[in-house]
Amino acid sequence: MLNGRIIVDVINVVQAQLAQATGYAAVCALEALPAVLNTRKMSRLCDPRVTRDIANSVLIPVVAKFSIGHDIEAEVAIQSGANFIDESEFAIGGTLSTLYVENKGDLPVPVICGVATLTE
């Protein structure tokens, strides 16, 4: 479904709808644009209400990022309507859980962090 296609970062419904209209394969719901995230070297889980609004406004898949090892963030992202989740490689903070660091296969949606192809 997504293999070889482009996923674009969005922060609101309008951007997600534009991405869908212009043919992107999926959108990644972020709490801020990458340029902002790169300056502060930290990301947080997108507001679950924003992720839910984006998921309800487009037909293409929605990806939600969560912090590495933060199983509660992963669950919130999934409950917010994300079709895929992505561990953020630079979003480390707080206490890490080994639950999903080691057992991503236990999640009900695919985790696409760091994969070269969707068959990994």
The residues carrying an active-site annotation are: 65
Q: How buried is 23 (Cβ within 10 angstroms: 0-12 exposed, 13-18 middle, 19+ buried)?
A: exposed
CA dist 110 → 9, 22, 68 (Å): 18, 25, 15
